[in-house]
């Protein structure tokens, strides 16, 4: 068995389907060769466990990455500059109506201490486009088969007021819909103005998987430009896509680490690896030695990546 280096590109394909959780996620005008996910575990299974490609820990806090190309993705802005920010440094200033009285609203990072916050650390009320118009365009060249990322809102009221659009290399729209966010700051449907004692995560996940490598453009169009309530800012973190020039081999869970959670996934996949298990790909993600089966040798390879 040959164990290759643990940092390599990750290959991924999607699963062709016309339903997620029993519902068709696409209006009839969109192709049914893609699926949209809000559950990262379901995304990982459908996408072939793509490695995390960008965590925003690679750049210094305060860096403007507008126009930066890395790992096969280019980051473009529309109004607010794309600033890599320390989550702890983000702050909600005065000027919002109905803001919580006894807690400081910040963005939450999901892989380390930093994330992408268009406009920077100040989570300003609208309308101040250079600070709070959190549009982001992700351009993939070459196109990819799957994209997923964490959505980190200023206030988790369940309303992102953000549209997301996915296009192929020819500009054909593959998907368009509302970006979901957590409602962890809601109590019985009403926005709380007091500190909440909640174990709910203050971030959400969004991902799309195609049955071919045709995702070339993903745009977040954030349209909340007012001062009520304090929910007009959001960031993104933990960007996964594949194929990619980056990503850690062995990271089957897509959390940026190779640890016991990846061993659990590999054990669940033990057995023959046929194309039917991961459609249209030459190998299964956990078949590290590419011998057509997931077995003890692949477990040894995974453990070597965890060192």
Cβ-Cβ contacts under 8 Å for 124 (sequence gap 6 or more):
93, 95, 131, 132, 232, 233
Does 23 score more than 70 pLDDT?
A: no
Give the model's confidence band at 138: pLDDT under 50 very low, under 70 low, under 90 confident, else very high: very high
pTM: 0.73
Is the pLDDT reported for residue 108 higher than 60? yes
Half-sphere exposure for 68 (CA within 13 Å, toward CB) = 16
Which pLDDT band, with edges at 50, 70 and 90, does 274 fall under? low
Q: Provide the pLDDT for residue 3.
A: 29
- What is the rounded CA–CA span in Å between residue 72 and residue 140? 6
Residue 67's pLDDT band (cuts 50, 70, 90): very high
What mean pLDDT, rounded, does the chain reach?
75
Spell out the domains of the chain, with CATH numbers in brackets: 34-242 (2.60.120), 260-305 (no CATH)
pLDDT the model gives residue 215: 94
Alpha-carbon distance of 16 to 36, in angstroms, equals: 11
Return phi, psi of residue 263, to 5°. Answer: -65, -40
Mean pLDDT calculated for residue range 1-12: 33
What percentage of the chain reaches a pLDDT higher than 70? 73
Cα–Cα distance between 77 and 80 in angstroms, integer?
A: 6
Q: What is the strand order of the sheet 215-222 is part of?
A: 69-70, 73-76, 136-144, 215-222, 162-167, 173-178
Query: What's the pLDDT at 66?
Result: 94
pLDDT at 117 over 60: yes
Tell me the pairing of strands 146-153 and 271-272: unpaired
Mean pLDDT in residue range 26-41: 64
pLDDT at residue 100 in the model: 59
Question: Which has the closest alpha carbon to 282: 270, 271, 292, 294?
Answer: 292
Residue 116 has pLDDT above 90, yes or no: yes
pLDDT, tens digit (0-9, with 9 covering 90-100), for 196-238: 444 455 788 999 998 888 999 999 987 777 777 767 788 999 9
């Amino acid at each position: 068995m040959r164990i290759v280096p643990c940092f390599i590109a990750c290959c991924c394909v999607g699963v062709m389907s016309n339903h997620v959780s029993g519902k068709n996620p696409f209006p009839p005008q969109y192709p049914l060769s893609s699926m949209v996910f809000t559950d990262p575990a379901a995304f990982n299974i459908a996408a072939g466990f793509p490695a995390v490609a960008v965590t925003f820990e690679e750049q210094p806090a305060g860096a403007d990455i507008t126009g930066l190309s890395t790992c096969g993705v280019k980051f473009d802005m529309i109004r607010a500059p794309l600033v890599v920010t320390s989550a702890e440094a983000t702050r909600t200033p005065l000027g919002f109506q109905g803001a919580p009285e006894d807690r400081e609203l910040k963005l939450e990072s999901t892989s380390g201490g930093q994330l992408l916050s268009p406009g920077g650390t100040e989570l300003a009320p609208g309308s101040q486009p250079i600070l709070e118009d959190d549009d982001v365009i992700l351009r993939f060249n070459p196109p990819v088969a799957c994209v997923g990322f964490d959505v980190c809102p200023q206030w988790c009221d369940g309303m992102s007021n953000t549209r997301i659009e996915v296009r192929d290399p020819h500009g054909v729209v593959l998907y368009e819909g509302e970006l979901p966010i957590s409602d962890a700051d809601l109590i019985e449907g009403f926005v709380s103005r007091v500190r909440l004692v909640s174990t709910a995560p203050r971030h959400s996940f969004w991902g799309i998987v195609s049955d071919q490598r045709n995702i070339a453009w993903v745009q977040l169009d954030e349209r909340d430009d007012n001062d009520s309530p304090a929910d007009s800012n959001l960031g993104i973190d933990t960007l996964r896509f594949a194929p990619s020039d980056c990503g850690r081999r062995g990271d089957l869970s897509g959390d940026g680490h190779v640890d016991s959670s990846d061993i659990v996934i590999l054990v669940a996949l033990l057995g023959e690896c046929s194309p039917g298990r991961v459609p249209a790909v030459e190998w299964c993600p956990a078949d590290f030695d590419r011998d057509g089966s997931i077995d003890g040798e692949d477990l040894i390879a995974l453990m070597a990546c965890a060192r």
